[in-house]
Structure 1
Amino acid sequence: MTDMICVGSISGAYGVNGEVRIKSFTADPEAIADYAPLATEDGSREFDLQLTRPVKGGFAARLTGVRSKEDADALRGVQLFAQRARLPHLPDDEFYHTDLIGLQVHDTGGVLLGPVKAVLNHGAADLLEVQVPGSSKTVLIPFTQAVVPTVDLAGGRIVADPPEGLFE
């Protein structure tokens, strides 16, 4: 498990005075400010964050060290990470997406289906993108209790009961 969790991203400048547009990935979108300081993925920069107002698709915010539209535009696409210790402890049946990536997925009979390549959400529900062993093909599995009854973080594995024909 990683010590840093992605909690949001910068979608670009908001106005001309150095504000940025933030998209929050936290359960309570406004809570992203509570997890500051936030860092870039490589850890080369850290920012304190102050949300200034809600805007379409997220929030306008001020970041330390960002004073102009050019500074803000230069950060477009940057993901923001928080220390795991600053985030809330999750119940046993909830997981940070980053903790699932790389876990080996097995079917209920023990057959290896492949590792989790990514966790996606396109609005309806979470999906596990599983890399098929020995192939460049990936398969999307709904990340629901019915399809994925077991997640064993300590054992590094997931047990799934995917719909018939999905891995053929």
Structure 2
Amino acid sequence: MPDDKDRLLLGVIAGPRGIRGEMKVKTFTENPEDIAAYGQLESKDGKVKYKLSLQGFSKAIPVVRIKGVTTRNEAEALKGTELYVARDKLPKTDGDDEFYHADLIGLDAVLEDGSKFGSIFRVFEFGAGDMLEIIPEGKSAKAAILVPFTLEMVPAVDLEKGHVVLSLSDDFFDVPEKEVSSENKEDTE
């Protein structure tokens, strides 16, 4: 299996569209249409190569055709397939404040005083901005926390040192108490 540091996940086949082998692809590219711009993509194990051509969009999701896939059944069989590209086919990141998700995964997360808090397990993009999923030191993945990947919460990323710096407020882990309205207060007494 190829080294994942040499490849990046660009998208996942979401399912077929129509009856002629076209399929929708959930992309992780900055511009969704770029999913077909990097040449051949490959399967997670690197054994299967895919040549994509962009056919259009369905509700802002790219619709592609893969060379050799001509029926809905063939497209359906590829649902869930992850599409990877060799890292050297991607453009270099601009400046010190742009990163590929793969560069962040596995980095240590340290607090401002330099103490290790945990490690970055995943990076999510929910539409309103990226979130770092961090597993605290000595805990399991079940105890993971999400930290917004903003300059306020993550003021420094040092790829050479292999860590990000977290700036968590004193009340970051506090759970707000549930307010009881005056109508419901009578029910609780």
Q: Identify the TM-score tier after normalising by the shorter chain.
A: over 0.9
Structure 2 residue 27 is matched with structure 1 residue 21: no
User: In percent, how many aligned pairs have the same letter?
Assistant: 39
Tell me the secondary structure at the aligned position of residue 121 of structure 2. Answer: strand
Q: Secondary structure at the match of 1:71?
A: helix
Structure 2 distance, partners of 1:20, 1:99, is 29
TM-score (norm 1): 0.93
Aligned to 1:7: 10
2:80 equivalent to 1:77: yes
Measured in 1, the distance between the counterparts of 2:100 and 2:53 equals 24
Kept in 2: contact 1:139–1:167 (CA 8 A): no
Q: Which residue of 2 aligns with 1:35?
A: 38
CA separation of 1:30 and 1:64: change in aligned 2, threshold 3 A:
same
Show the counterpart of 2:98: 94
Report the TM-score when normalising by structure 2.
0.84
* More strand by percentage: 1
Equivalent residue number for residue 145 of structure 1: 151
- Number of positions where the alignment pairs a residue of Structure 1 with one of Structure 2: 168
Mark the runs of 5 or more structure 1 residues left unpaired by the alignment: none
Among 20, 44, 57, the alignment partner of 2:47 is 44
- For 1:57-91, what per-residue CA distance to the aligned partner results, in whole angstroms no more than 9, with x for missing partners? 41221102212211110111111111111111111
Give me the whole-angstrom Cα distance separating, in 2, the residues matched to 1:96 and 1:47. Answer: 22
Higher relative contact order (CA 8 A, sep 6+): 1
Q: Deviations over 1:11-69 (max 9, x none)?
A: 11111111111122211211221112011111121111101111124122110221221
Q: Alignment RMSD, CA only? A: 1.5
C-alpha distance in 1 between matches for 2:114 and 2:157: 14
Give distance in 2, aligned partners of 1:158 and 1:167: 19
Tell me which residue corresponds to 2:133.
Answer: 129
- Of structures 1 and 2, the larger Rg is shown by 2
Q: Check if 1:116 corresponds to 2:120.
A: yes
Per-residue displacement from partner, 1:88-129 (whole Å, max 9, x unpaired)?
111121000011011000000011110001111212111111
Q: CA deviation at 1:151?
A: 0.8
